[in-house]
Amino acid sequence: MLSILIPTYNYICVKLVSDLQRQAARLGCPYEILVADDGSEEKYKGENRKINRIPCCKYIELQENVGRARIRNILGHQARYGYLLFIDCDAAVVDEKFLRNYMDVRRNAPVIYGGLVHPARLPAPELALAYYYEKHAEPRFTAEKRARRPYEVFRTFNFMIMRETFLKHPFDETIVRYGHEDTLFGKSLKDDGIPILHIDNPLMNCGLDKSSRLLRKTEESLRTLYALREKLEGCSGVLRVYAVLERMKMTGLVRLLFRMTRPVLRKNLVGKHPSLWAFGIYKIGYYCCSVPREERSLRRS
């Protein structure tokens, strides 16, 4: 009946698997928990091999890193049961009825998204940017508010999908760098008229990045966004802002100002009191600089 699928990379998720297995054993239906390791370092794999000792659980080791899209497709194809529950490895269970909540509504839609929450307090100063960014957004992502934009706000962190639906709509494996595989997946569902049911059944996001690492990942995500810009037209706030700046012929000015202020912005963003406004400016400025000079020349001509 239920396959719980967890991709992992350089993260120990034994406790998450144990907590899920205890709940799954109470469901009274067949289940499995598959964890696929995307080429992690040995110190993480050594700990995660303990998953094989947990009933109905299997730890699968890939010898090379295949990326966030392909590893989810691998898990989906290896799953045996009709409902697939994808969970990120850095999640934590916060509700003893988490699995039951999903199973109670499993027939209501082919795709169900449960959402995520974050710790009540900042876990460590070096996580300030990620924490305040996510925590500030949290009130806007209740199930009721997510349902108003069901595809745009979809994330792969915690969702259930019918296996037959997933096999017809796999993740796009052309995405090999970080970012936007969930945005593109949501758009694929929208284009084919596959409904998403949003419910309040969150997991805790325990894998917040240090501010410096989050900036590097944000930059990589923006480069991925540029590569996917045609596929993701209308699905990204950064693309919408860039289109407005382009119509107003202001992209050159934004690039210039970003290059001048980038060190100051970075200093703020990796500090103890990062400005979310500065983070927004950083993202659009970096994206403007990511557009190749040749393309900018073509658009001006």
Query: Can you give the pLDDT at residue 293?
Result: 59
Provide CB contacts within 8 A for 276, sequence distance 6+.
Answer: 132, 133, 136
Query: Can you give the pLDDT at residue 265?
Result: 97
Domain boundaries, the chain: 2-205, 236-300
**CA neighbor of 155 nearest in space, from 184, 176, 178, 130:** 184
Give the tokens for residue 67. Answer: 């990326």
Query: Can you give the pLDDT at residue 232?
Result: 86
Query: Can you give the pLDDT at residue 301?
Result: 42
Query: Can you give the pLDDT at residue 294?
Result: 44
At position 216, the amino acid (one-letter code) is R
Gap between the Cα atoms of 224 and 176, Å rounded: 9
* pLDDT tens profile 55-89: 999 999 998 999 889 999 999 999 999 999 999 99
Q: Looking at 2-146, which runs of residues are DSSP E strands?
A: 2-8, 31-38, 57-62, 83-87, 91-92, 111-113, 116-117
Q: Which pLDDT tens digits describe the chain residue by residue (301 residues)?
A: 999 999 999 999 999 999 999 999 999 999 999 999 999 999 999 999 999 999 999 999 998 999 889 999 999 999 999 999 999 999 999 999 999 999 999 999 999 999 999 999 999 999 999 999 999 999 999 999 999 999 988 999 999 999 999 999 999 888 777 778 888 899 999 999 999 999 999 999 999 999 999 999 999 999 999 988 888 887 889 999 999 999 999 999 999 999 999 999 999 999 999 999 999 999 999 999 988 754 554 454 4
Coil, strand or helix at 85: strand
Phi, psi of 97 (to 5 degrees): -105, 20
CATH superfamily for 2-205 is Spore Coat Polysaccharide Biosynthesis Protein SpsA; Chain A (3.90.550.10)
Query: Can you give the pLDDT at residue 98?
Result: 98
DSSP 232: T
Give the tokens for residue 30. Answer: 């067949």
Kindly report the number of other CB atoms within 10 A of residue 241's CB atom.
16
* pLDDT tens profile 232-278: 887 889 999 999 999 999 999 999 999 999 999 999 999 999 999 99
CA 41 to chain CA centroid, nearest Å: 21
At position 139, the amino acid (one-letter code) is P
| 0.75 surpassed by pTM | yes
